[in-house]
Amino acid sequence: MGEEYSRLSLGLDIGSSFVKLVALSRRDGRWALKDVALASLPEGAIVDGDVMDSGAVAESIEALFRRLELQENRVISGISGRAVIVKPIRIPTDDPDELAQNVSWEAEQYLPSLNDVNLDYHVIERGAGQTRVLLVAAKRERLENHRMILRLAGLEPLIIDVDSFALGNCYELNRPAEAPRTAVLLNIGAALTNINVLCEGSPHFTRDVSIAGNNFTEAAARELSLSVADAERAKRGELPEVDPLALNDVLDSVAEDLVGEISRTLGHFFDTNPELELSRVFLSGGSSGLPQITMALEKTLAVPVEHLDPLAELDLDDSGMNRDDLATLAPQLAVGVGLAIRGADDELP
């Protein structure tokens, strides 16, 4: 007989519009989906990634856990946007014993005060007397606020990760058999689009941009004289009385703005890393299903664009959920899945 399932590993993705919970367990080296649920956040509770109403966010999370009747309260969550600075830098040493101190010295050149952030780094490459790293600085105030929200909801934060890194974890779990050496991951949410460049599974670059799903909704409401609720329905193809040509023109225009920002970001990265080649883009996120985005990406970047399925390598039998319902939810679960699989880390209690 196989091993028993491990304890639940909970990935909690706190977005601008929804809280998304993914509960995984592990047996025989494979992850199984045990439960998944979403809860909407009150309007204005989180704006552009900044928490405006901590109590309201905590109440939404607590209600979600009550609904699922989960016994486990330890969670792995993530932050993004202005809470995090991620910058590739070169450190003038390839000695691992000297690296941490050198990272702190170099970080002082890029950050106004090291006292205001928690500092970490990811090694990209060592050699020739230097080390390329991704410098990661998370604002302590935002980290403490995030932990406070989780504790207000009765939860114990095990890890606070970075959303774009969780996205990379999800891709590595579900990467296609013919995966490119360099993959560009785009997670298009309501308020932010996470950009992550992976090379052979290692993050080389990440950035968040503030053009995302809400921009499409707001543009449709403004240009077509709709309420925000009706604009959201129209964007999703659920309001047939709206002129489809006029709606498509609006969505095309916002897609061009988003893809222009993505193209400039990636252009700078690949110009400074000529040994790497942009060959494929993978999409996820609640707003990633808009065909205008896919078409604009393929036209501008001239590479294939695919949708990342965060559930592809999970055992779904124990979730008790309808497969069609899971397929509908899947684009929104990439960050949550990527957070939850951090529960396999050996150092966790």
Using one digit for the tens of pLDDT, what is the confidence trace for 310-325? 999 999 988 888 899 9
R_g of the chain, CA atoms, integer Å: 20
How many other β-carbons are positioned within 10 Å of the β-carbon of residue 10?
26
Q: What distance in Å separates the CA atoms of residue 194 and residue 205, rounded to the nearest whole number? A: 11
Instruction: Give start and end residues of each alpha helix (H) in the chain.
Output: 54-68, 96-107, 140-152, 163-174, 213-224, 228-235, 244-272, 291-301, 323-329, 334-340
Is the pLDDT at 141 greater than 60, yes or no? yes
- pLDDT of 101: 85
- pLDDT of 196: 95
Mean predicted confidence (pLDDT) in 47-55: 83
Q: Could you tell me which of 72, 28, 345, 331 has the C-alpha nearest to residue 189?
A: 331
The 10s digit of each residue's pLDDT in 200-254 is 888 999 999 999 999 999 999 999 999 999 999 999 999 999 999 999 999 999 9
Domain residue extents for the chain: 9-344
Q: What is the largest CA-CA distance in the chain?
A: 65
Task: Please provide the average confidence, as pLDDT, over all residues in the chain.
Answer: 90
Q: What distance in Å separates the CA atoms of residue 186 and residue 53, rounded to the nearest whole number? A: 28
The class level of CATH for 9-344 reads: alpha beta
Confidence band, pLDDT 50/70/90 cuts, at residue 346: very low
Contact 160, 145 (CB under 8 A): no
Q: What distance in Å separates the CA atoms of residue 145 and residue 160, rounded to the nearest whole number? A: 11
Q: What distance in Å separates the CA atoms of residue 224 and residue 281, rounded to the nearest whole number? A: 31
Mean predicted confidence (pLDDT) in 268-272: 94
pTM of structure: 0.92
SS3 142: helix
Provide, rounded to the nearest whole percent, the portion of the chain with pLDDT above 90.
66
Contact 128, 92 (CB under 8 A): no
Contact 19, 13 (CB under 8 A): yes
Sheet holding 84-91, edge to edge: 84-91, 130-139, 117-127
- pLDDT of 2: 44
Contact 217, 232 (CB under 8 A): yes
How many other β-carbons are positioned within 10 Å of the β-carbon of residue 110?
11
- pLDDT of 348: 52
- pLDDT of 4: 52
Tell me the CA distances in angstroms from 59 to 19, 23, 68, 147, 190, one per residue in order: 11, 19, 14, 14, 20
Q: What distance in Å separates the CA atoms of residue 185 and residue 197, rounded to the nearest whole number? A: 6
The 10s digit of each residue's pLDDT in 177-207 is 788 899 999 999 999 999 999 998 889 999 9
